[in-house]
Amino acid sequence: MKTPRHDKEASSTQARGSSEDGHRFPGVRDVALSAGVSTATVSRFLNEPTSVRPDIRLRVESAVRELGYIRHGAARALSMRRSHAIGAIIPTVDNATRAGKVAALQKRCRERGYNVLLALFEYDLELELAQCRNLIEAGVDGLMLEGELHHPALYQLMEKRGIPFVNTAIYDPRSPHPNIGFDNQAAAARLTEHLLDLGHRIFAMISGPSQVSDRASGRIKGVRQALAARGLDLPPDRTIEGSYRVQQGRQGLRTLMSGKARPTAVVCGNDVLAFGALLEAQALGLRVPRDLSIAGFDDLDWASQLPPGLTTMALPAREVGQLAADYLVDRLAGQAVPHATEVEVRLILRGSTGPAPEG
């Protein structure tokens, strides 16, 4: 007779339930006995906590804490053919929006019985590929990635190993790869149109690294698209690219304002760059928005607090993280999942943008 999945886990736990010095570790049966439930209920709780009634969940959680029960990952993965871990590979964690996405991913995964393993690649696609290999070797069941621009070998590796993945922070229903996020080009075009409607005609942009970030390149394209629709352009000497740091925003604005055609509107690739631009404008004696309008992306917490308040595109990063968790867990469970999911991006108007200066 075929052994039920939960009984296999219980027996393997009991078999390995002692250390080399003879000390016995608690197993699934111990947790079940302490909580007054069956081993099947404990297994359901361990696999997906929300599948268990709240009152029973509390009893099992209490028993797990009191006994100090810890699942043995290798044996559990062998018995279930799953590690119940989701990997997340992101460029950096020095951005509050991205950190919020990962936090939401972890919270939602935990609610559904999965752990999250995090890796960074610092906008280096070779390093991202290496991190992908490391996470697969660690036994992750699925991966959350950022953007669609990845090393070709990464996509090949995922396909060969049959690892479900989802690209985030982008939205493209025509893409061959699953994605959850927003249209960066359309969002940037919308922000630029706001500035155009205020009468601005000389634009500049301080951007992230477009060669290794399709989110950055999409936003540059969006600005150019909106300008071209009204017979204007964004020349190379008014496009500054670099890291997403405050100092880069300051240096970028300093360079732009030293050029022949000083812009009256500057679109920044994120709020951190915009913050740097605001600081430099103040240092240069420029009045925002009377002399210069500055806009960003993200809507970080401080965007509404720093005077004069930053006009920005609010990106729902936490929603993206939660949706990514649901996509991966549902797909691993064999459920139907949408190929592409778009989330709403909102234009937040504040005091850093105003009418173009006269003359």
Q: Where are the domains of the chain?
A: 5-79, 84-182+317-344, 184-315
Side-chain-side CA neighbours of 341 within 13 Å: the count stands at 17
Res. 5 pLDDT band, cuts 50 70 90: very low
Which residue type, as a one-letter code, is found at position 285?
A: G
CATH number of 84-182+317-344: 3.40.50.2300
> CA-based angle 97:101:103, to the nearest 5?
110
CATH of 5-79, one of 3.40.50.620, 3.40.50.720, 2.40.110.20, 1.10.260.40: 1.10.260.40
Tokens 């993200």 correspond to 298
Q: What share of the chain in percent tops pLDDT 70?
A: 89
Are residues 304 and 350 in contact, defined by beta-carbon separation less than 8 angstroms? yes
Res. 71 pLDDT band, cuts 50 70 90: low
If you count DSSP H runs as helices and E runs as strands, how many of each does the chain have, helices first? Answer: 13, 12
φ/ψ of 341, rounded to 5, equals: -130, 125
**Better-predicted residue by pLDDT, 203 or 84:** 203
User: Pick from 64, 60, 106: which is nearest to 85 by CA?
Assistant: 106
Read off the pLDDT of each residue in 58-76 and give the average, rounded to a whole number. Answer: 72
Q: What share of the chain in percent tops pLDDT 90?
A: 76
> CA-based angle 327:102:149, to the nearest 5?
70
What order of strands is seen across the sheet that includes strand 85-90? 115-120, 85-90, 142-146, 165-168, 179-181, 340-342
Read off the pLDDT of each residue in 337-344 and give the average, rounded to a whole number. Answer: 98
Residues near 225 by beta carbon (within 8 Å), at least 6 away in sequence = 185, 189
Side-chain-side CA neighbours of 31 within 13 Å: the count stands at 31
**Domain 5-79 identical in fold to domain 184-315:** no
User: Pick from 52, 48, 49, 46: which is nearest to 29 by CA?
Assistant: 46
Tokens 């075009």 correspond to 189
Please report the pLDDT score of residue 74 as a whole number: 45
Read off the pLDDT of each residue in 160-175 and give the average, rounded to a whole number. Answer: 95
Packing angle between helix 5-15 and helix 39-47, nearest 10 degrees? 100
User: Pick from 154, 131, 144, 210: which is nearest to 178 by CA?
Assistant: 144
Distance between CA atoms of 103 and 108, rounded to whole angstroms? 9
User: Pick from 315, 285, 320: which is nearest to 297 by CA?
Assistant: 315
Read off the pLDDT of each residue in 236-246 and give the average, rounded to a whole number. Answer: 95
In the beta sheet, which residues pair with residue 204?
266
pTM listed for this prediction: 0.78
13-17, 209-213, 221-225: range with lowest mean pLDDT = 13-17
End-to-end CA distance of the chain: 87
CATH number of 184-315: 3.40.50.2300
